[in-house]
A and B are shown apart, each in its own frame.
Chain A
Amino acid sequence: MNKTWWKILGSVLVVYTAIAGLLLGVPRLPILNESIRNLYFHVPMWFAMIVLFSISVFYSIKSLSSKSEIDDMKAVESVNAGIIFGLLGLVTGAIWAKYTWGQFWSFDPKQNFAAISVLLYFAYLILRNAIDEEQKRAKISAIYNIFAFPMMVVLLFVLPRLKDSLHPGNGGNPGFNSYDLDSRMRMVFYPACLGWILIGYWVYTIKFRLRSLENKQQAN
C-alpha cells in the first residue's frame, strides 16, 4: 500500500463529494431540508472510524501471537487516527442535531453511546500511557482493544436500536437507506464513504510511519 494511486483516489473522491454533495439534487423532506446533505459528510466520519478501529483490533490480535512491536504500533496509531474521525463525527452530529432535533446534545441514546464508544478508545490510549514496560503494555492493551471493539459495535449498532432514538435507523426510526436514500444520493454517499475511509487510512499510515521512525531513532 505504499503507492500513491489510492491517496489520489481518496483525494479526488473527497473533493468530488464536496462539489456533488452540495450541488446535486436531494429529496425534499420536511425538517431535514437541505441539511440532508450532511449525510455525505457526517456518516462517512463514522465509517472511517469503524474501519480504522477494525484495523486496530486486527493488529491487536496479530500482536498477541506475533509479539511484534510493529503490530502493536499499528494498533495504536490506527486508534489515534480513528479517534479524530470519531470526534469529528460527534461534533458534526451535534451540529446537525441542533437544527433538526432542536438541541446540540439531547442525550439521545445514539449520541450518548457514540460518545461512550469514543471514550472507550480514549481509555485505551490512557491505559497504554499508564504502563511503562513495553511487552506488558502491548499485551494488556491488545486484550483491552479486543474487548473494546465489540463493545463499540454494540454501543453504536445494537443498544441505540433498543431504545427510543431520534437518529435514523434506531428505535423504530427507519434508516436513511429505506426511503430517502434515493439513487441520486447513493451516487454521492458511497464515493464519500470510500473517499473518507481512504483518507483515514492515509492519516493512519502517516502516523504509523512517523512513530516507527521515532522508534528507530530512540533505538539508535
Chain B
Amino acid sequence: MKKILFSLILMLVTIQLSAQDNGVEMADKLRSDGKIYVVVVCIVIILLGLLAYLFSIDKRLKKIEKENLPKN
C-alpha cells in the first residue's frame, strides 16, 4: 500500500511538472487565454483522487463481504 501511495505521489508530481512545461508552450497554440491546463490538471487530480478513493472503498467492502460469507 505504501509503495503504491509513494508511486502515486511521484506520478502526481511529474504530472504537474510536465503540465507546467507544456502548458506555457501549448496554451499559446491551442487557446489564446493560457493557463487553462492548470485548471484541467487540478480537476483531473481531484477526479483521480475521488475515483481512487471509490476504488479503495470498493476493495474494503469486498474484503468485508468475503469475511461475512462463511458465517451465513
A positions within 8 Å CB-CB of B:
7, 11, 14-15, 18-19, 22-23, 199, 202-203, 206, 209-210, 213, 216-217, 220
Contact = CB atoms under 8 A, between A and B. Distances in A.
A18 B51 contact: no
B39 interface: yes
Contacts of A14: 47, 51
Given A22-B43, A213-B64, 5 more contacts: A7-B58, A18-B43, A22-B40, A23-B31, A206-B61
A99 B51 CA distance: 29
Contacts of B51: 11, 14-15, 199
Contact of B47 (A15, A209, A213, A217): A15
Interface of A is mostly: helix
A18 B30 CA distance: 17
B64 to A, nearest CB: 6
Contact of A206 (B57, B71, B72): B57
A7 B47 contact: no
B60 to A, nearest CB: 10
A19 B40 contact: yes
A189 to B, nearest CB: 17
Nearest to A10: B51
Contacts of A19: 40, 44
B61 A18 contact: no
Contacts of B17: none
B68 interface: yes
7 contacts: A7-B54, A7-B55, A11-B51, A23-B40, A202-B54, A206-B58, A220-B71
Contacts of A11: 51, 55
A22 B17 CA distance: 20
Contacts of B30: 23
B8 interface: no
A28 to B, nearest CB: 12
B59 to A, nearest CB: 10
B48 interface: yes
Interface string B32-52: 000010011001100110010
Contact of A18 (B47, B55, B71, B72): B47
B21 interface: no
A210 B63 CA distance: 12
Contacts of A202: 54, 58
Contacts of A209: 61, 65
Interface in B1-53: 30-31, 36, 39-40, 43-44, 47-48, 51
